[in-house]
């Protein structure tokens, strides 16, 4: 039954990013005397020059002449480092929240091509009985998916038949996909075919992502959000989740080959544990992974012009299992509290953004009440 296979796949998907997640990662921000350790794909080169500034794992970090630097075999100089290169860094933040890297290890994976997946295509028109499946793609009433496969993290869902709403969510979602991903060729193996849909048939109140770039936003979650800043924050976490899973799916031989060099560089970091056939797999709990997605989403939504301060508000509203009768009385969750603290520590008060929405405001685009009738 697909219910079992979906559960197994969900566990595997959520576990894959652990292979590239730092052993020294912490559930929250470290104490002032402890270094911040970050790890992941560089999604933006913020500044070049002798002291370039990069962004990865939701952190901006600067490489200085004092940084203990290690470059993989495909990188001959620091100037070769671009978006899409994997990095692990350690350092302390300056007054503006940028990490001054004491140590940095850069790794560039081998480029390859593949045939685009015919299932991974964004649909923009939704006939009656439209539905989406993580494995089989889009279908209508003419092609039924097995009832046992409906729902769950990776099952199929009925699509909301409101094309204006679907297009708006798609546009907001694509706006938070990092530019380097959008610039990749369709046959580039590193390209993630991001697709965004609003789905019905579930009371789930979180964004769902299940590989192949498919990001599903339940209507039950959308109804709680107040405006595009909050929508971008939620979709951004889906994008971040897909990117994290995509890194873990890179060729295992590639990771293993670099493992020896990485193991040698571990002396720079003084990390506990060793490397067995590649980058060490740490037993990182779901909350730490959630925090990593949150940091990345904040960065991506800020790049797209949305207000990062609204991310905490979005996840505050999505915290309760049942829709709140009085949204203004909903307390912060651990998720929203982490976002507030991170924005305060790493984002300038001058960051452009909209005013905080008032409880009870309508979403940026109102769902068509006739949809799905």
| The two structure tokens encoding residue 280 | 């060490």
Query: Mean per-residue pLDDT for 341-356?
Result: 69
- Residue 112 or residue 125, greater confidence: 125
Q: Quick check: 269 pLDDT over 50?
A: no
Return the top range by mean pLDDT from 15-19, 212-216, 368-372.
212-216
Using only the alpha carbons of the chain, give its radius of gyration. 21
Residue range 100-121, pLDDT digits in tens: 999 999 999 887 888 888 888 8
> Which whole-number Å values give the CA distances from 263 to 109, 270, 274, in the listed order?
17, 11, 7
Q: Where in the sequence of the chain do the CATH 2.40.50 domains occur?
A: 37-108
Which one, of 121, 127, 86, lies nearest residue 107 by Cα?
Answer: 86
Mean pLDDT is lowest, of 42-51, 151-160, 201-210, 342-351, for 342-351
Residue-level pLDDT at 52: 97
Residue-level pLDDT at 89: 97
Residue-level pLDDT at 30: 63
Domain 37-108 = CATH 2.40.50: yes
Residue-level pLDDT at 250: 52
HEC letters along 163-187: HHHHHHHHHHHHHCCCHHHHCCCCC
- Residue 285 or residue 205, greater confidence: 205
Q: Quick check: 77 pLDDT over 60?
A: yes
Q: Quick check: 158 pLDDT over 60?
A: yes
pLDDT, averaged across the chain: 79
| Pairing of β 208-209 and β 156-158 | unpaired
pTM value is 0.79
Residue-level pLDDT at 96: 87
Return the top range by mean pLDDT from 139-143, 193-197, 318-322, 349-353.
193-197
Which one, of 313, 358, 5, 363, lies nearest residue 169 by Cα?
Answer: 363
Query: Mean per-residue pLDDT for 338-361?
Result: 66
Which one, of 369, 312, 359, lies nearest residue 336 by Cα?
Answer: 312
Residue-level pLDDT at 155: 83
- Residue 246 or residue 161, greater confidence: 161
Residue range 299-311, pLDDT digits in tens: 999 999 999 999 9
| The two structure tokens encoding residue 347 | 């984002």
HEC letters along the chain: CHHHHHHHHHHHHHHHHHHHCCCCCCCCCCCCCCCEEEEEEEEEEEECCCCCEEEECCEEEEEEEEEEEEECCCCCCHHHCCCCCEEEEEEEECCCCCEEEEEEEEECCCCCECCCCCCCCCCCCCCCCCEEECCCEEECCCCCCCHHHECCCCCEEEECCCHHHHHHHHHHHHHCCCHHHHCCCCCECCCCCCEEEEECCCCCCCCEECCCCEEEEEHHHHCCCCCHHHHHHHHHHHHHHHHHHHHHCCCHHHHHHHHHHHHHHHHHHCCCCCCCCCCCCCCCCHHHHHHHHHHHHHHHHHHCCCCCCHHHHHHHHCCCCCCCCCHHHCCCCHHHHHHHHHHHHHCCCCCCCCCCCCCCCCCCCCCCCCCCC
Q: Quick check: 297 pLDDT over 70?
A: yes
Instruction: Give the burial string for 246-272 (b: 16+ CB within 10 Å, else e).
Output: bbbebeeebbebbbebbbebbebbebe
Residue-level pLDDT at 31: 66
| Pairing of β 208-209 and β 214-218 | antiparallel
Residue-level pLDDT at 251: 43
8 A C-beta contact, residue 174 and residue 180: no
Rounded to whole angstroms, the Cα distance separating 210 from 212 reads 7
């Amino acid at each position: 039954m697909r219910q079992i296979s979906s559960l197994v796949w969900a566990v595997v998907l959520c576990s894959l990013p652990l292979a590239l997640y730092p052993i020294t990662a912490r559930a929250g921000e470290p104490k002032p005397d402890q270094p911040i350790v970050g790890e992941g794909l560089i999604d933006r080169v913020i500044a070049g020059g002798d002291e370039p500034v990069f962004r990865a794992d939701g952190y901006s970090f600067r490489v200085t002449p004092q940084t203990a630097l290690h470059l993989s075999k495909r990188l001959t100089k620091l100037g070769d480092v671009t978006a899409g290169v994997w990095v692990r860094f350690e350092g302390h933040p300056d007054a503006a929240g940028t990490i001054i890297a004491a140590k940095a290890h850069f790794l560039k994976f081998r480029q390859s091509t593949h045939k685009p997946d015919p299932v991974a295509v964004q649909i923009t028109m939704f006939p009656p009985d439209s539905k989406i499946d993580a494995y089989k793609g889009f279908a209508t009433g003419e092609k039924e998916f097995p009832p046992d496969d409906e729902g769950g993290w990776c099952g199929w869902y009925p699509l909301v038949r409101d094309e204006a709403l679907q297009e708006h969510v798609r546009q907001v979602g694509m706006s938070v996909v990092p530019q380097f991903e959008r610039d990749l060729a369709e046959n580039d193996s590193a390209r993630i075919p991001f697709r965004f849909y609003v789905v019905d048939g579930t009371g789930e109140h979180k964004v769902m992502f299940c590989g192949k770039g498919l990001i599903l936003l339940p209507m039950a979650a959308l109804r709680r959000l107040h405006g595009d800043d909050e929508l971008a924050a939620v979709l951004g976490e889906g994008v971040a989740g897909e990117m994290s899973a995509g890194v873990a799916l890179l060729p295992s031989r590639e990771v293993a080959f670099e493992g020896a060099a990485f193991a040698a560089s571990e002396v720079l970091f003084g990390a506990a544990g060793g490397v067995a056939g590649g980058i060490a797999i740490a037993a990182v709990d779901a909350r730490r992974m959630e925090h990593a997605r949150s940091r990345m989403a904040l960065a991506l939504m800020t790049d797209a012009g949305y207000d990062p301060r609204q991310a905490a508000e979005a996840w505050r509203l999505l915290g309760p299992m049942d829709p709140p009768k009085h949204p203004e009385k909903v307390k912060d969750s651990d998720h929203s509290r982490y976002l507030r603290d991170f924005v305060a520590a790493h984002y300038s008060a001058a960051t452009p953004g909209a005013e905080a929405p008032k409880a009870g405001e309508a979403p940026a685009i109102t769902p068509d009440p006739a949809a799905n009738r």
